[in-house]
Amino acid sequence: MRIVNSSKIGREAVEKFLTKKSFDEVELSPKIREANKKIFGSDLSAIEIVRKIVSDVRKFGDAAVIDYTKKIDGIELENFAVKLEEIEIEPKILSSLKVAAENIRRFHTEQLPKSWITYRGENSLLGQAIIPLERVGVYVPGGTAAYPSSVLMNIIPAKVAGVKEIIMCTPNANKTVLAAAKLAGVDKIFKIGGAQAIAAMAFGTEQIPRVNKIVGPGNIFVTLAKKEVYGHCDIDMLAGPSEILIIADEKANPIYAAADMLSQAEHDPLACSIVITTSEELADKICAEVEEQLKKLPRREIAAASIERNGLIVVAKDLDEAADFANFSAPEHLELLTQEPFAMLPKIKNAGAIFLGAYSPEPLGDYLAGTNHVLPTGGTAKFYSVLNVETFLKRTSLISYTQKDLLNSAADIICLAEAEGLTAHAEAIRKREEIL
């Protein structure tokens, strides 16, 4: 893991270290490229593969989904649906899921916006109607770990928003994931994954209904597929590997900082774990502690690869500079391990979620606090928001003018329409003036 000192290498050099690759810059491993050659007959890029899959699913529906699921996942499918009534789970896990679900539901209920109407002039009115989406698709990845928490985070806000139908696609029928979906209120589950699942939800097939929006994380192929279908339906965001950035002063506990770095590193070899501290001594202690804690992790190979590739400790001259570096990085998760974390809060402008103090670690938000853990990555927290209830809502404007108020506004409307060269717009007002 690298340790860099801003006083020695300069601000620009530190920012280069903090610059993350975009989701579409991820290089495919030699193993994946070789497998793709066998499937597609040539060494295609990730986007070329995704475009072919999306195009085929759009044209051929279930037949293409079945074909690609067999070729890519080695699974032969006929009926995609999972029977909800057959889902079972251990009582202990179910109990914890219920606690998490209630916290998530309570938090997101507070986010609900309201429709409103305001009167203008003589009984004319303007307003806004808040309308839930009709049908939403949730993608849940398979891979090396199961994520029932992500299921709750995606489905419950949609239910709170009032979405009429929620479907879920997952290539790994993990019983805990399925139980979480059932508990959260999913309507249908389909056991397919990858780009073919995204395309199926975006365009609809014989078995899978077309959705208005797709949410949920996935690998590079899933993310590129979401980008490819955007416009045919909406998506939540284009998410990359998980990341954490920790601002730590000289009093921070190195054991906590190291543990929190590893909590993200174990996700994926591409995950990013960064500490920005004002203490060189603490930087050395954190580095040593990471090495020690790694030895005991069941997923140590993944975590070690992540720390080796994307682990970084920056020594900043003060907390103001640390905040500047954090805002430049715009991390998915930002922890403030400082003596006065709330004093730091006004300085933070870009982060998916902010965890204040030593006893608010990132896993608290991942599982039980109730806040959402579907967050912008790769620096996109500069312009993206956390997934929330409004992700599943539309805003529609309401306009109703009386005859008198329209006539009072007619001259200005006609003036503006003619200034734009849109005479038919102006005539639509004039016709009403003539008749009246």
Residues 408-435: b if buried by 16+ CB within 10 A, e if exposed? eebeeebeebeeeeeeeebeebeeeeee
For strands 165-169 and 135-139, give the pairing: parallel
Calpha distance 338→414 (Å, rounded): 60
332 is a catalytic site residue = yes
**In this structure, which amino acid lies at residue 31?**
K
Query: Per the residue annotation, which of 332, 335, 362, 373 is the catalytic one?
Result: 332
Torsion of the alpha carbons at 99, 100, 104 and 106, rounded to the nearest 10: 10
Calpha distance 274→378 (Å, rounded): 13
Query: Per the residue annotation, which of 333, 335, 362, 373 is the catalytic one?
Result: 333
Cβ–Cβ under 8 Å, residues 150 and 373: yes
Distance of CA 156 to the CA centre of its chain: 15
Q: Let me know how many helices (H) and strands (E) the chain has, helices first.
A: 18, 15
Calpha distance 385→161 (Å, rounded): 17
**In this structure, which amino acid lies at residue 381?**
A
Token representation of residue 151: 């299921």
373 is a catalytic site residue = no
Supply the residues annotated as catalytic: 332-333
